[in-house]
Structure 1
Amino acid sequence: MKTFINGLSLILPTALVLYLLVWILKMTEHFFGDLILLVLPKEYYITGLGFVAGIAIVFFVGLLLKLWIVQKLRDFFESIIDKTPLVNTLYGAIKDFFNFFSNLKNKENNIVVLVDTHWIDSKIMGFITSEDLKRFDFLDMEEPVVVYFQLSYQIGGYSLFIPKKNITLIDMKTEEALGFVMTAGISSSKKSEDK
């Protein structure tokens, strides 16, 4: 039985990752392939051209965003979205999600913390996301910071205002800490077993 579970523990995650990659490839190929077929005759179309076009367009947009005029157009577009109910919430949430995780991985030190939870004599791992809280001066707290707590095996978490005296900075890379939290410590246990 243990041998079967070991095999399943390798096959299942690999199959899920491959399925997700294939799904992304198919969606990208279908979407951009249809756009290409608007200007290119069907007999000249090669499977995979849509995916290559998708990668090229994303890269090109990334390059364009370095231009001042494009940044101004993006700001104008986002200002319209900000005034549109529901759309602004969805757009903002997706944008913030990507920005948060891309910024999180770039920060290596002074962000991973343990927060004291005195009521059950324990600590919870989190990430400092904001220390400049001047607009929250009304909080009845001594030196508050915002700490984000990632939920294990989920896309999401929650943020709390916490006094600095209740947190302890730990010497751990952000990416390593994020992996630890998202897998509920299992990824760290596996590394220890492998050694």
Structure 2
Amino acid sequence: MSEAPKREFLATRIRNNFLTGLIICAPLAITIWLTWSFIQWADSWVNPYIPARYNPEQFLPFAIPGFGLLVAVIFITMVGFLAKNLIGRSIVRFGESILHRMPLVRTLYKSLKQIFETVLNEQSTSFRKVGLVEFPSPGMWTMGFISSDVTGEIAFRLSDTGEEIVTVFIPPTPVPTAGFLLFVPKSKIRMLDMSVEDATKFLISGGLVTPEYGLVPSDSK
């Protein structure tokens, strides 16, 4: 083998090894950086409000990363626990009644509360199913998140179709923060087995990260 092919072969090996290492290290480094940044952000918000006598950083020669985040989690959990009893519910209703009297604040509060209740409600089926719908024209398929059954005036106006109508959110690629909201007959949707998390990865990657899917033969044991 002459010198030129040897150098080309060596350069190819080095490039392939670099790309393999990058695939391994980049996601790990980004995950650690995002996690560390979130912990520092939470600590910077919570630690100033912790009394000095309860803050271990006042007695130790080093800082404790995540202590503020831990305090925030405990505080939020205690608020949720207290809000479930009679006195807590009364306090929450009183606070909400004050917010509802503020013209701009009440709109913002109601919207945010409704979003969090919809997303975090364990009984909700919002964005827990993925399907394919024909969009933007027949014969062209796109992935959408099935949020809920259509109710209210929209369901009444579409009642002449004689079919069950569901709400489908069509996010764009690669940043699924906006999109189209469609009202589609349930019979027109091809449901997928993939989870919402896998579908989100698929969309963000532009179709490069395809979820694994295997069919088990019916005669297999």
1:117 aligns to what? 135
How far is 1:108 from its partner? Answer: 10
Of 171-180 and 95-104, the range deviating more from structure 2? 95-104
Pick from 144, 147, 151 the counterpart of residue 126 of structure 1.
144
Pick from 182, 191, 203 the counterpart of residue 181 of structure 1.
203
Secondary structure of the 1:162 match is: strand
Pick from 17, 29, 34 the counterpart of residue 3 of structure 1.
17
Secondary structure of the 1:148 match is: strand
- Do the aligned residues in 1 keep the contact of 2:127 with 2:145 (CA within 8 Å)? no
Query: Unmatched 5+ residue regions in structure 2?
Result: 1-14, 214-221
Of 7-16 and 68-77, the range deviating more from structure 2? 68-77
Q: State percent identity of aligned pairs.
A: 26
1:23 aligns to what? 37
How far is 1:96 from its partner? Answer: 5.1
Task: Identify if the C-alpha distance between structure 1 residues 172 and 28 changes in structure 2 by more than 3 Å, giving closer, same or farther.
Answer: closer
Q: CA RMSD in A?
A: 3.8
TM-score, scaled relative to structure 2: 0.64
Task: Identify if the C-alpha distance between structure 1 residues 133 and 96 changes in structure 2 by more than 3 Å, giving closer, same or farther.
Answer: same
2:10 aligns to what? none
Secondary structure of the 2:63 match is: coil
Amino acid at match of 2:157: F
2:188 aligns to what? 166
Alignment map for 1:89-168 (pairs within 5 Å): 91=109, 94-95=112-113, 98-102=116-120, 107=125, 111-117=129-135, 119=137, 121-136=139-154, 137-139=156-158, 142=161, 143-154=164-175, 156-158=177-179, 159-168=181-190
- Do the aligned residues in 2 keep the contact of 1:104 with 1:175 (CA within 8 Å)? no
Measure, in 2, the Cα distance between the counterparts of 1:12 and 1:105.
Answer: 36
Measure, in 2, the Cα distance between the counterparts of 1:154 and 1:79.
Answer: 37
Measure, in 2, the Cα distance between the counterparts of 1:148 and 1:72.
Answer: 37
Residues 149-169 of structure 1: CA deviation (Å, up to 9, x unaligned): 233443523322223343223
Displaced runs of 4 or more, over 6 A? none
Structure number with higher relative contact order (C-alpha < 8 Å, ≥ 6 residues apart): 1
Residues 107-140 of structure 1: CA deviation (Å, up to 9, x unaligned): 5998322111362622112122121423222358
Secondary structure of the 2:209 match is: helix
Amino acid at match of 1:47: A
Of 129-138 and 66-75, the range deviating more from structure 2? 66-75
Query: Unmatched 5+ residue regions in structure 1?
Result: none
Measure, in 2, the Cα distance between the counterparts of 1:121 and 1:4.
Answer: 41
Measure, in 2, the Cα distance between the counterparts of 1:96 and 1:102.
Answer: 10
Larger Rg belongs to: 2
- Do the aligned residues in 2 keep the contact of 1:131 with 1:144 (CA within 8 Å)? yes
- Do the aligned residues in 2 keep the contact of 1:109 with 1:171 (CA within 8 Å)? no
Amino acid at match of 1:27: W
Secondary structure of the 1:146 match is: strand
Secondary structure of the 1:51 match is: helix
Measure, in 2, the Cα distance between the counterparts of 1:5 and 1:72.
Answer: 59
